[in-house]
Amino acid sequence: MTAKDTTARIRSRSGQLRRLMTLLVTLLTVLLVLERFSAVTLALVREGGGEAARRWAQQGVAAFPELFYLLALWWVRQALAAFARGELFTPTITRALRRVGVMLASGALLGVFIVPSLMRALGFQPGYVIAYDVGGLVLGAVGLALTLLAHVLTHASALQSELEEIF
C-alpha cells in the first residue's frame, strides 16, 4: 500500500469518525441536559422558591466535570476534522493532545476536588471533601499524560526541523 493510499484511508476514516463523534457529542449533551436539569427545572417552575433553585444549582455544579469531558470529545472531533482535511502533521496532533489532556485533567480535578466542596457550600452534605473516584483519577492522570505527550511531540518536531536544517 502506498503512502498516498494510506493518507486517503486515514482521511476517509477520520471523516467517518468525525461524523460519529458529532453524533455522540450531541447525544451526550442532550442526555446531560435532560438528566441533570429536566426534573429540577420542572420543580422550579411548579414550586418556585429557594429549595428548587438550590437543587438546580446543585445539578449545575455536578455537571461541571461532565462539561469538560464533553469538551474533550469535541476537541477529538476537531482533530478528526483536521485529519479528514489532510492535516496529518505534528501541530494538529499536538494541539489535539494538549486540548484533550487539559479538558480531561480539568474535569477530573473539578470532579474529585472542587465539586464536593461546592456541594457542601450549597448545603448538600456529600459526607466527604474529596471524592475518591477511581475513574476520575484515571481520567485526570490520562489527561496529564496527554499534555506531556503533546509537549514531547512539539519538542521532537522542533529537533527534527533543526536536524533537517543542518543536513
Question: pLDDT tens digit string along 54-90?
Answer: 888 888 999 999 999 999 999 999 999 999 998 888 8
Q: Where is pLDDT greater, at 142 or 37?
A: 142
Round the average pLDDT of the chain to a whole number and report it. 90
Entry pTM: 0.86
Nearest to 71 by CA among 154, 143, 149: 143
Question: pLDDT tens digit string along 10-68?
Answer: 999 999 999 999 999 999 999 999 999 888 888 878 877 778 788 888 889 999 999 99
Nearest to 55 by CA among 34, 39, 36, 40: 40
